[in-house]
Structure formats: C-alpha cells, structure tokens
Amino acid sequence: MAKLILSLSENEFDFGLLAICSHIKDYRIGWEINRYLNLDLQRIDDLELKTPAGSTSFSFFSCFNEDTNVSVYLLANRSEGGLLIPEKKQIDFFLIIKEADESYYNEILLKLKKLPNILAVYAINPSELKSKNNLLF
C-alpha cells in the first residue's frame, strides 16, 4: 500500500520589513512618513490579534500606489494589551513594503533615517522572527 505524504508549506514572507523606533504617536508618524516619502498612508481598521489571553488590536495604516503596484503598511508594535512582535520590544512601529524592488526599499530606508522624529530604523528579515505569523494579514 502506497503512503500519502502531506506536505505543509511555510507561509511566504515576500515583503520588506523595516523596524522603526520613535517616541511620537501613530497618527503623527503616519503623517510625517506621508509628507516625507510622498505616500498616502491612511488609517484603516486596527489589526486584531487573538491570543489565548484575549484579543489585542494594533493601529494600522495602509496605502497602495497604482503606478508601481507597491503596497506600504505602517503597523504599531505596541498596544494596551501587549506587543505584536514580543521579541522586538524596543520597536514601536513596523513598515511593511510589498511588491517593491530592492532599490525602492533601500531608498525608503535611507529617507526614514533622516526624519528627525525617528530615533532608529533598520531592516529586519521577517522569516527570522519568532512571532512572524503576526505580520500576516
């Protein structure tokens, strides 16, 4: 009798991820990123994360550029109920960039480093995060 093998594929993390440290509120950093990077991030429904202890929501901003087909999301790492990515407790926000080439991604990283209200920004490989599935929406 032949054996059937079930193969479960890992979720693909085919997006760029930038970690942002900043002391300002979510709406203010969204506004500054929009102004400085010429984006149109808009607040949408919060991202809700369900855990055994209950559910927690994180502020969530989104924009899509029809000319380049690039999607950009700004996601808070902190909420009253805890952290989205607990192993990155020093991070305040994540900027997720989908469908962008390497040069666009690097350009955003360099520009964000120049913003006065951003204390630090750096690239993270989402596949290496323990809580990486919290970034899938």
In angstroms, the CA 73 to CA 39 distance is 11
18's tokens: 């930038």
Cα 2 to chain centroid, rounded:
44
In which band, very low, low, confident or very high, does the pLDDT at 5 lie, cut at 50, 70 and 90? low
Predicted local confidence at residue 12, as pLDDT:
67
Quick one: average pLDDT of 16-36? 95
* pLDDT beyond 90 at 7: no
Q: Domain 15-127+129-133 adopts which CATH fold? A: TATA-Binding Protein (3.30.310)
pTM: 0.86
- Ordered by start, the domain boundaries in the chain are 15-127+129-133
Residues for the chain: how many in total?
137
10's tokens: 């890992």
Predicted local confidence at residue 134, as pLDDT:
85
* pLDDT beyond 90 at 52: no
